[in-house]
Chain A
Amino acid sequence: MTDAPLLNVSNYSVGFKTERGLARAVDGVSFTIGAGETLGIVGESGSGKSVLNRSIMGLIASSRQIETGSVLFDGSEMVNQDRQNFWGNRIGMIFQDPMTSLNPVMKVGKQVAEPLRQHLGMSKRQAIERTIELFTNVGIPSPAQRTKQYPHELSGGMRQRVMIAIALAAEPEFLIADEPTTALDVTVQKYILDLLNRLQAEHGMAMTLITHDLGIARGRTDQVLVMYGGRVMEHAPTEELFTHTRHPYTEALLASIPRLDHKKHARLTPIPGAPPNIVEPPPGCRFSPRCKYAQARCVQSSPTVDGAEHRYACFFPVGTDAGAEALASNRAAGETATGLKMSHFEVDA
């Protein structure tokens, strides 16, 4: 039991029945998280990060949803089971937009007290006292007064701290933070992320940190899962992923965000094109229409996620001879096998 990971996700898929067909929002995803560990989940908007996590929790209340595969949480199977007992109690969640994620017509103190009373059976008075402690712990000044305020009376950063207090109220073993800082000012982002890391360490909590910004995952996570069109593109221990990036999508993500260690090429290269249609995905590798390494093989068949510690799904990985050759031949041809002009990538060369 001690060796078993807290969360073990294997070959997990989530589809939505739509008029146009099955939307494969999550497609054959596998990973594990040990107690106290942090997993970063990274990918552009629409890559399936939120669906993955909400589905794991069983929070998607749609009869159109189809789940397959296996998700073991602390040894018990979650897929297609009622997971209500876990909500707030053993798994906490923080959402992207603190402006809309709090009930606008309920005092924030009461919103924190709810899970305390529900899961820990506290009396009203105990819950209020505990709420004030929690507010202090997440860095909310004059906590007693704040409990009596409504969300609209608080700033975005304060509201996100309230959200964190709510998620942590019942001391869950696992926290899912779904883009917790995306909607916040840059100045408060770092504070919230540091706060999450500190609380996680204090509580020995496992956590998934979902973000579309790879930079956020660095230094704050133990392992990173890169998702694209519902699939895992690359999955590795965090430092390994940054130092030995193998997947062209990960590389493209890195090139599209500002990085401190990138002094020479300060210029950013956005990824050309748009995320794939998940109802009718492109043939072969889903990233092929946007990949500068793409070869004929990438359109004919789909790479599987291979590897042990460091897994990735690519025929021509970055930093390998195969990858270098693919890039060289595309440069020579001026375009990729999917017709993407190489000039798009060479502007800063």
Chain B
Amino acid sequence: MKYWTQRLTMVLALMLAVSMLTFASMNVLGDPLFNILGPISGDRKTPENLVKIEAAEKQYYLDKPLPERYVRWLGDFVTGDMGVRFAATGQPPVTELVKERLPRSLWLVFMAQVLALAIAVPWGVWSASRSNSLANKASTVAAFGFVSVPNFALAVILYYIFALKLGLFPLRYDASASFLTRKTQLLLPALTLALPGAAVYQRLLRTDLITTLQEDFILTARAKGVPRRQILFRHALRPSLFSVVTIFGVNAGGMIGGALVVETFFGIPGAGTAIVEAILREDFPVVLALVMIIATGFVVLNFVVDILYSILDPRVRS
């Protein structure tokens, strides 16, 4: 219990630091007033401009010192109000934008992880159980191929084969379609993200499985007559998943990065594209909100990984 309290404290401190850094750098390196009002932001001599400037400063608290603005922002953020955008109208509020865009990216990454595991586990088990065959050498080549091909190239290839040639998937993402249709639209982008991940998981799983299969308890299982399939899936798989679980968290980060590319390519209005648009427009509140959410996602994921460890190995529990 003490361990978890300590970890939680550390994580909260870390997130505060991340938020401070992001908040400060965006306000110090950029000029929020300019981002809101454009060129007139420097013109305090013209009375009507001065009125606009003062109104904007009030609305966005730009007249307050930086620490105070940070505390205000943080207070709002934790209560679910991510503030207003740096645009003439400030509409839609950041929270609304995030609510609209983020779920698509979350689904994309989630589906990608599920697909990656669904591909990697049978693939890894198969290749570990017959480690010297010719087919296995081919699978090794394929795995290295998936890892080394960049996301955008893989996107082009998959899009060409499955959407254009085979017509299995729609050509564009349609945000107004029904829930299920939207999920099927995400399949191909998710697969693009999933394949490199699957290849990495497969390599790790294969190596760990080959080691596990040499263990004494596998000999015991064979000697008591457990059929080969059950030995692989019931005895060998679980103790061989540690590397995969460890990399799972790291990989999620890579997939968020990849989501940027994939969303752009497939025209999915997700958080990845939102963050790119926001950076281009120097719409700091949006960038800040998304950076914080992604950071939180990472933290949560690492907790999940820790919990998975203890599920996988009862010895971690005690």
Residues of chain A at the chain B interface (Cβ within 8 Å):
57, 59, 61, 84, 87-89, 92-93, 95, 97, 100-106, 114-115, 118-119, 150, 152-153, 163, 166-167, 169-170
Contact = CB atoms under 8 A, between A and B. Distances in A.
Contacts of B238: 105
Interface stretch (B4-12, B170-178, B223-231, B261-269): B223-231
A60 B227 CA distance: 15
B215 interface: yes
B277 to A, nearest CB: 47
Contact of A84 (B216, B225, B234, B318): B225
Given A88-B225, A89-B225, A115-B225, A101 B220 contact: yes
A104 B235 contact: no
A95 B224 contact: no
Contacts of A61: 222
A163 B313 CA distance: 20
Interface of B: 215-217, 219-227, 234-235, 238-239, 312-315, 318
A109 to B, nearest CB: 13
Nearest to A167: B224
Contacts of A102: 217, 220
A168 B221 CA distance: 14
A135 to B, nearest CB: 16
| 3 nearest A-B pairs in the assembled complex, by CB-CB distance | A88-B225, A88-B224, A100-B216
A103 B221 CA distance: 8
A21 B239 CA distance: 35
A150 B315 contact: yes
A101 B217 contact: yes
Given A104-B313, A105-B314, A150-B315, A119 B225 contact: yes
A104 B240 CA distance: 12
B235 A97 contact: no
11 contacts: A87-B225, A88-B223, A88-B226, A92-B224, A103-B217, A103-B220, A103-B239, A104-B313, A115-B226, A152-B314, A166-B224
A105 B239 contact: yes
A104 B239 contact: yes
A166 B220 contact: yes
Contacts of A153: 318
A115 B224 contact: yes
Contacts of A88: 223-226
Contacts of B221: 103, 114
Nearest to A150: B314
A59 B217 contact: no
A179 to B, nearest CB: 12
Contacts of B215: 100
Contacts of B223: 57, 59, 87-88, 92-93, 95, 167
Nearest to B224: A88
A102 B223 CA distance: 12
A102 B219 CA distance: 9
Given A150-B314, A150-B315, A152-B314, A101 B219 contact: yes
Nearest to B234: A106
B232 to A, nearest CB: 13
Nearest to B315: A152
A170 B225 CA distance: 10
Given A59-B222, A95-B220, A105-B312, 5 more contacts: A93-B224, A104-B313, A106-B234, A114-B221, A166-B224
A95 B221 CA distance: 11
A170 B223 CA distance: 12
Contacts of B239: 103-105
B130 to A, nearest CB: 12
Nearest to A61: B222
Contacts of B225: 84, 87-89, 115, 118-119, 170
B107 to A, nearest CB: 32
Contacts of B219: 59, 95, 101
B216 A118 contact: no
A163 B216 CA distance: 12
A88 B227 CA distance: 11
B21 to A, nearest CB: 41
Contacts of B216: 95, 97, 100-101
Contacts of A101: 216-217, 219-220
B314 A118 contact: no
B226 A118 contact: yes
